[in-house]
């Protein structure tokens, strides 16, 4: 669970829980229920799962009283609770805990709460240092409340179901390690994950969903399809692209580059390392230091690996004077950046320490801001639809109140107007903006309904001021440009992770690293297979010949597991007739042999149609 912050709300994502310790009082005076008397309350999923986290902690205290509960929030598809316990929880322990949880649920314990003083809260949990730490840090202007089910009491903000019986179905999933408060210098805890639903049918459906998600896991498919690896010997969170993965990446980058050229972007390249003073000017050291790697000292100068590309583009803009007639200026770069992530948070391609962005920065006049933002939004929609994404969510993310300045409202109005022009529904994420300005975040849903945040577009009046950027206006005076930061695919590593899972590795023909495999029935057809290969390669198709000594059935099964769009079988008849027998991925249809020219035309059409 994240630590308390200004965006916390009384739901499961921000709950602070504490287990009942010795001498913990039963709530009598000042008791609060989760609902107003006489009011019928249907809990949200978050409230239900938050309650399930309490139930889990109750069960652990019953069965393993030596375990110290720490924190336990609801998360997107369930909940977790962290415990400090010397002995590791086993699968058998989870079975026992789940059985006890169901007993607690069936007991229909009401969720009762009461306000207490800080001193009383600290005293209640004096045998649990984790709880004492949390209770001690609750801001003085926030209430401190205890919530009780049965004989178990938690220190918690609230946001629960009325009763344990509101939990219709629950299942414990697994155990993982987690540092206290995400700090590797603090104790390692055991995190028990679970999920809870209003009904058993919904839980069953979710478990089926998890099975499908496991089949699509990009880490598994990346290995099976030989696309990439993360070599721990070189350091966690660093991606090595294998030949087929590099081809896939080149295809995507080429598609994005083509769109950038059409929209008037100028390609640039910037160093991977900068003098530290650049990040002092930009504000990254002040606002983003925890995400940066430490300094490198060379000849008494301090350098930093760049966490973002914008300072480099700013320096290019600043390298010579500009007239209003030149604006807008659009710089683009597939720039690799480096950000420190704790080892426990690294996850395949989705959370890495070095990644490349389809980054671009636009420098424009205030009058051009609206038009530039609109064309950037149009560009984002075009990109996502090209990769078969169709279900989007839009968030206007504002800056935290203490960071807001007069120009924030100008930026927010530009974002709103662009969204309204395209008739796109959106929500406002208060305080979710970057430290240098408001932004638009685009979330999408993949083929099985999971939500991903990829693209972002930010309006920035701050960095032009920090770097004293100028252009000469029509009036002959110097003026300050406005910047737009945009990374529409975002991190390419993360984008590919989502793409692999979206297609389950079954890339459409235009994206597939290998579009066609030619499988000769025997060694006697290898020469003809090579001739077909050369014919197709000359037309720009990505083709391989399987010259192994394996039987034809094995060859076909193997290449189907590699998810190749087309397998062309060539035997004696095909060799004599100059044709190919087409085996198309996902189709059981028996097709007559095609001439090589006819097959090439079919493949070309599929590629042009992005299928």
Q: Residue 356: which of 249, 435, 282, 275 has the closest Cα?
A: 249
Residue found by looking up tokens 């009491």 in the block: 153
Of these residues, 190, 357, 525, 562, which one is catalytic? 357
With b meaning 16 or more CB within 10 Å and e meaning fewer, what string describes 141-152? eeebbbbbbbeb
Q: 546, 555 in Cβ contact below 8 A?
A: yes
Integer CA distances (angstroms), 553 to 253, 514, 522, 530, 567, in order: 36, 19, 12, 20, 12
Give the full edge-to-edge strand order of the sheet including 543-545: 543-545, 516-520, 566-570, 579-584, 594-595
Q: Residue 387: which of 449, 456, 446, 457 has the closest Cα?
A: 446
Non-local CB neighbours of 571 within 8 Å, separated by 6+ positions: 520, 521, 522, 525, 581
Q: Residue 255 and residue 245: Cα distance in Å, rounded?
A: 16
Non-local CB neighbours of 153 within 8 Å, separated by 6+ positions: 18, 19, 20, 24, 26, 27, 124, 146, 147
Task: Please tell me what DSSP assigns to residue 405.
Answer: -
Of these residues, 361, 399, 502, 563, which one is catalytic? 361
What SS3 state is found at 517?
Answer: strand
594 - beta bridge partners? 580
Q: 112, 50 in Cβ contact below 8 A?
A: no
531 classed as catalytic: no
Q: 10, 158 in Cβ contact below 8 A?
A: yes
Q: How many residues does the chain have?
A: 611
Integer CA distances (angstroms), 28 to 122, 145, 148, in order: 18, 13, 11
Q: Residue 407 and residue 462: Cα distance in Å, rounded?
A: 9
Of these residues, 313, 339, 351, 399, which one is catalytic? 339
359 classed as catalytic: yes
Stretch (H or E) spanning 330: strand 329-338
Of these residues, 82, 93, 154, 359, which one is catalytic? 359
361 classed as catalytic: yes
Maximal C-alpha separation, the chain: 94
Of these residues, 439, 486, 555, 563, which one is catalytic? 439
Q: Residue 252 and residue 499: Cα distance in Å, rounded?
A: 11
φ, ψ of residue 127 to 5 degrees: the values are -90, 0
Q: Residue 513 and residue 225: Cα distance in Å, rounded?
A: 10
Of these residues, 313, 485, 494, 563, which one is catalytic? 485
Task: Give the up-direction half-sphere exposure of residue 376: CA atoms within 13 A in the CB hemisphere.
Answer: 38
Q: Residue 48 and residue 159: Cα distance in Å, rounded?
A: 9
Q: 163, 40 in Cβ contact below 8 A?
A: no
124 classed as catalytic: no
CA 490 to chain centre: 10
Q: Which residues are annotated as catalytic?
A: 310, 339, 357, 359, 361, 439, 485
């Amino acid at each position: 669970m994240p630590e308390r912050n200004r965006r916390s709300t009384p739901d499961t994502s921000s709950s602070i829980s504490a287990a009942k310790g010795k001498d913990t009082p039963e709530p009598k005076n000042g008791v609060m229920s989760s609902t107003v008397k006489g009011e019928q309350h249907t809990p949200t999923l978050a409230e239900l799962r938050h309650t399930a986290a309490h139930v889990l902690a109750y069960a652990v205290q019953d069965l393993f009283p030596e375990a110290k509960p720490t924190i336990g929030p609801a998360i997107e598809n369930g909940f977790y609770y962290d415990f400090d316990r010397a002995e590791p929880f086993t699968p058998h322990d989870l079975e026992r805990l789940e059985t006890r949880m169901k007993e607690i649920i069936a007991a229909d314990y009401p969720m009762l709460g009461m306000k207490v003083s800080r001193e009383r809260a600290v005293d209640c949990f004096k045998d649990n240092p984790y709880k004492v730490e949390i209770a001690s840090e609750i801001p003085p202007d926030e209430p401190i409340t205890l919530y009780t089910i049965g004989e178990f009491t938690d220190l918690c903000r609230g946001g629960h179901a009325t009763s344990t019986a509101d939990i219709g179905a629950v299942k414990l999933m697994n155990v993982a390690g987690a540092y206290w408060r995400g700090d590797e210098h603090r104790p390692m805890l055991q995190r028990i994950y679970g999920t809870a639903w209003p009904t058993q049918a919904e839980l069953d459906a979710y478990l089926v969903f998890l099975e499908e998600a496991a089949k699509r896991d990009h880490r598994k498919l990346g290995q099976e399809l030989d696309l990439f690896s993360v070599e721990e010997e070189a350091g966690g969170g660093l991606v090595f692209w294998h030949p087929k993965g590099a081809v896939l990446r080149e295809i995507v980058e080429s598609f994005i580059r083509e769109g950038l050229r059409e929209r008037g972007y100028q390609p640039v390249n910037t160093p991977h390392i900068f003098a530290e003073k650049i990040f002092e000017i930009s504000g990254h050291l002040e606002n983003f230091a925890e995400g940066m790697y430490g300094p490198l000292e060379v000849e008494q100068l301090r350098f930093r690996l760049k966490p973002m590309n914008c300072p480099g583009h700013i320096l290019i803009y600043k390298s010579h004077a500009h007239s209003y007639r030149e604006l807008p200026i659009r710089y683009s770069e597939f720039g690799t950046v480096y950000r420190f992530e704790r080892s426990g948070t690294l996850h395949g391609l989705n959370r890495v320490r070095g990644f490349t962005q389809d980054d671009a920065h636009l420098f424009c006049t205030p009058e051009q801001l609206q038009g530039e933002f609109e064309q950037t939004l149009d560009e984002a929609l075009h990109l996502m639809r090209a990769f078969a994404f169709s279900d989007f969510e839009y968030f206007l993310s504002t800056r935290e109140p203490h960071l807001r300045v007069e120009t924030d409202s100008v930026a927010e109005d530009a974002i709103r107007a662009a969204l309204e022009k395209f008739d796109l529904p959106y929500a406002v994420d208060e305080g979710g903006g970057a430290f240098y300005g408001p932004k638009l975040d685009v979330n999408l849903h993949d083929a099985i309904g999971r939500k991903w945040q990829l693209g972002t577009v930010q309006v920035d009046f701050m960095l032009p001021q920090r770097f004293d950027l100028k252009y000469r206006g029509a009036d002959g005076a110097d003026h300050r440009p406005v910047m737009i930061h945009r990374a529409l695919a975002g991190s390419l590593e993360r984008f590919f992770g989502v793409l692999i899972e979206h297609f389950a590795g079954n890339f459409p023909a235009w994206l597939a690293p290998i579009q066609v495999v030619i499988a000769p029935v025997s060694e006697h057809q290898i020469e003809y297979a090579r001739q077909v290969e050369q014919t197709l390669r000359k037309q720009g198709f990505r083709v391989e010949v399987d010259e192994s000594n394996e039987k034809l059935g094995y060859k076909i099964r193997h290449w189907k597991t590699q998810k190749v769009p087309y397998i062309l079988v060539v035997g004696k008849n095909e060799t004599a007739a100059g044709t190919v027998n087409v085996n198309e991925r996902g189709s059981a249809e028996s097709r007559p042999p095609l001439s090589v020219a006819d097959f090439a035309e079919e493949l070309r059409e599929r590629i042009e149609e992005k299928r």
